[in-house]
Structure 1
Amino acid sequence: MILLVPADVLRPQRADEHFADEADAARAAGMDVALVDHDALTRPGGAGEAVRRIRGRGAAVYRGWMLRSEQYAAFDQALRRRDVILRTSAEQYRRVHELPGWYHDLCDLTPRSVWTTGYDRDAFDRACRELGTGAAVIRDYTKSMKHYWHEAAFLPEVDEADAAWRVACRFRELRGDDVTGGFVLRQFENFVSAEVRTWWIDGKCQLIGPHPDSSEDMPTTEFDPDTVAPTISGLGLPFVTADFALRADRVWRLVELGDGQVSDRPHSIPPERLIAVLCAR
């Protein structure tokens, strides 16, 4: 198994500082470690250059910065030309990375959601009408702007069309060139706990810890992964994270599904633990 991590921008012979601990842990566990040029991966036609330092062959797992689905697909193809096969295929990555890819399989666990293709006003208004009334949260296929909550994330009344559109426009402005797919409207649910990030490999929960945004804060109510294991396992995905929070009625709800390769690891989970479960496949 090869661990692929981004190279440091200023010192390209070294791993990016954010992933250096995982690279060290992988080497200590006997894994090969190879560096990729993340900046090249994000440039059109740059995938070949991004993987030019890789010398090994065989199965690989990536631990690095988030990539758009089309960038990951180019990455996958460039690696295949070098006989390196990512554990997560390009199709699997898109399915888990973009909300429309996983929502229907997990809709019973997560807030009701509707979305558009593209960003025009008519499509947005139709999505608002489909969601109905009440509060909602806006995002795109891959990301919200929750740190701009009242400005670009929260819609107090989804049926107040002009006010909702102003928030949508601000969201798109802040996302800039990174905006992906279209608008997603999610019914607002009142969460009363910090998020728990769970790590699933081949359908089995291997790690549970805090969300990196609140890495010192775990809910007092213990999360039981067995309650959702059949559903997560049924996705057939090799390496994902699932973030859960307690709703006001004390029901655990899925906030986000993500590809494990580009999900941040909280400091409270040692890199050796993550590498150990990746090696144990």
Structure 2
Amino acid sequence: MLLLPADVLRPRRPDDHFAGEARAAREAGLDVALIDHDALTTGGGAVGALARVPEPTTERAAIYRGWMMRSEQYEQFAQALARRNILLLTSPEQYRQAHELPGWYAALADVTPASAWTSGDTPDGFARACTDLGPGPAVLRDYTKSMKHYWREAAFIPDLADRDAAWAVAQRFRQLRDDDFTGGFVLRRFERFVSAEVRTWWVNGVCRLIGPHPDTPHDDPRVEMDLTDAEPLVAALRLPFVTVDFALRDDGVWRVIEIGDGQVSDRPTTISPENFIANITGTGS
């Protein structure tokens, strides 16, 4: 079963952003059910969010494809589905591990920029993270997201040794993230990349699809990618469905920029819904 967010104004239809995936899933023979994402994430509760999800008579497995939710919201979502005899293939623990950087960083430390993070948003915690990472340039984010579109004011820190300037960037980041701020500040060592990001899709530790990043959907990623170093590390996470974003560093080494839960990772417009669904569900010929 594929679970998708319903259109806010037309709740019997999937959200327009995921309508293509709904159509492709049905054509591939999958059952599709719609959830009320707003009810799930803005206080309506997980039970109300599932009003349009039929309750099967026997246990069914499901994959969610939709908008991002906090780890605690996903847990409530999974519990409410389980009470209806529907089990998400990605458990709440697995979702948090893929969705939040501290969950996957240690396993991928050799192939991703060095990082340090805080729990919460206090100045003292931020100062300790600066010390842990050491002086030099860094990129700021929280456990789930950066503000890279505000690069100079809320993402890039030229030198962590300049604590006042670094804290100013952190304060602006915190202001922009507002209620969406998740977990704490994450400082990542700045590395110089010479390619657009490439988004790869992995099912049970196997890379099933390679394409552009949704932010740069027309940048052709069909290049010689060497996944030799990353492949066993991603497989060792034992996560059922994740995305791994790569970029080429200026020394010719492919580096992991981000891991995300595949259920809430956006699909670039240049990958067709049919190709996508066939690859992530194994329904292709």
One fold, TM greater than 0.5?
yes
Cα shift at 1:274 = 1.7
Q: 1:224 aligns with which of 223, 226, 239?
A: 226
The aligned residue for residue 139 of structure 1 is: 141
Pairwise CA RMSD of aligned residues?
1.2
Residues 43 and 220 of structure 1, relative CA distance in 2, 3 Å threshold: closer
When residues 82 and 220 of structure 1 are mapped into structure 2, their CA distance, relative to the original with a 3 A threshold, is closer
- Corresponding position of 1:249: 251
Alpha-carbon distance between aligned partners in 2 of 1:220 and 1:203, rounded to the nearest angstrom: 21
Which of the residues 142, 152, 161 maps onto 1:159? Answer: 161
1:124 aligned counterpart, secondary structure: helix
SS at match of 2:79: helix
Which residue of structure 1 aligns with residue 3 of structure 2?
A: 4
Partners in 2 of 1:50 and 1:114 — Cα distance? 36
Q: Which residue of 2 aligns with 1:130?
A: 132
Counting aligned pairs with the same residue, the percent is 64
Give distance in 1, aligned partners of 2:227 and 2:173: 33
Task: Determine if contact 1:142/1:180 at 8 Å carries over to the other structure.
Answer: yes
Q: Which runs of 5+ in 2 are unaligned?
A: none
Provide the secondary structure at the position in 2 that maps to 1:150: helix
Structure-1 residue corresponding to 2:104: 102
User: For the residues of structure 1 that align with 2:280 and 2:127, how far apart are their CA atoms?
Assistant: 44
Shift of 1:219: 4.5
Residue identity in the other structure for 1:50: A
Taking the aligned partners of 1:226 and 1:186, their CA distance within structure 2 comes to: 23
Residue of structure 1 in register with 2:173 after alignment: 171
Do the aligned residues in 1 keep the contact of 2:38 with 2:44 (CA within 8 Å)?
no
User: Contact conserved, 1:205 with 1:225, CA < 8 A, in 2?
Assistant: no
Post-superposition offset of 1:275: 1.1
**TM-score with structure 1 setting the length:** 0.97
Alignment of 1:166-205 (within 5 A): 166-205=168-207
Q: Matched residue of 1:199: which SS?
A: strand
Count how many residue pairs are aligned between Structure 1 and Structure 2: 280
Q: How far 1:228 moved relative to its partner?
A: 2.0
2:201 & 2:253 partners in 1: Cα distance?
A: 20
**What letter matches 2:99 in structure 1?**
H
Answer yes or no: is the 8 Å Cα contact 1:97–1:257 preserved in 2. yes
Equivalent residues of 2:112, 2:256 under 8 A apart = yes
Name the CA distance, whole Å, in 2 between partners of 1:135 and 1:144. 16
Q: What one-letter code is carried by the residue in structure 1 that aligns with 2:243?
A: T
Counterpart secondary structure, 2:33: strand
Q: Structure 2 CA distance, aligned partners of 1:253 and 1:163?
A: 28
Deviation at 1:43, TM superposition (A): 2.5
TM-score scaled by length of structure 2? 0.96
Provide, for residues 167-191 of structure 1, a one-character-per-residue CA deviation record: whole Å limited to 9, x for no partner. Answer: 0000000000000000000000001
Report runs of 4+ in structure 1 exceeding 4 Å deviation: none
Look up the match of 1:32: 31
Q: Distance in 1 between matches of 2:186 and 2:124?
A: 14
Say if 2:208 and 2:280, in contact at 8 Å, map to a contact too: no
- What SS does structure 1 have at the residue aligned with 2:215? helix
The question of whether the paired residues in 2 share the 8 Å contact of 1:139 and 1:183 is answered with: yes
Return the offset for 1:44: 3.4
User: What is residue 16 of structure 2 aligned with on the other side?
Assistant: 17
- Asked if structure 1 preserves the Cα contact closer than 8 Å seen for 2:137 and 2:159, the reply is yes
